Amino acid sequence: MYPCFDKAVTYGLAVTGLDVEGTVYPTAITTEGSTYEPNVRGFERPKTFHARVHVSGLSPARKYTTYRFDGIDALPAGPPFASGASYSWTFGALGRTHSFDDPNGFRSDGAVYYVTTDAESAVAVEEAE
């Protein structure tokens, strides 16, 4: 909404859920702490961000897979999630939450989406294809 925001106030945006089918777990990201995002409409060059991914609602000792999608057009409406993902990470939960760093950057003028699902169901869907 640039330039409509008051420069003296900091605003943020949070998506509280993606409209996807299947069993998915709350997944959020934070960036490395930079509060400056270049004004690409003012011809500033986009910046590369790196995400720290946080997953909650997990059961210890179960395996999960987090998928990353680069842009809304790559995000499927439901399983199998692997087909449109740019990257994926499978992990065993040690507790109710799990966090990890995505080593792959994304541009400040784009969007990335993360979806976490049960690893067993993700493998079963892929094998059924």
Q: Is the pLDDT of residue 124 over 60?
A: no
DSSP annotation of 46 reads P
Please report the pLDDT score of residue 48 as a whole number: 87
Please report the pLDDT score of residue 103 as a whole number: 95
Give the pLDDT confidence of 94-112 residue by residue, as tens digits.
999 999 999 999 988 888 9
Please report the pLDDT score of residue 122 as a whole number: 46
> Across the chain, what does the average pLDDT equal?
82
- 11, two tokens: 């605003």
15 sits in which H/E element:
none
Provide the CB-side half-sphere exposure for 28 (13 A, CA): 10
Stretch 51-62: mean pLDDT: 94
As a CATH number, domain 27-128 is 2.60.40
Percentage of the chain beyond pLDDT 90 is 43
Sequence spans of domains, the chain: 27-128
Q: What are phi and psi of 55, to 5 degrees?
A: -120, 135
Cα angle 125, 83, 58; round to 5: 60
Q: What are phi and psi of 121, to 5 degrees?
A: -70, -35
120: confidence class by pLDDT, cuts 50, 70, 90: low
Please report the pLDDT score of residue 34 as a whole number: 57
59 Cα distance to chain centroid:
20
Give the pLDDT confidence of 12-56 residue by residue, as tens digits.
666 667 778 889 999 999 887 656 777 777 887 888 889 999 999
CB 83 within 8 A of CB 75: no
Q: Is 33 left (phi over 0), alpha (psi -120 to 50) or beta?
A: left
CB 53 within 8 A of CB 82: no
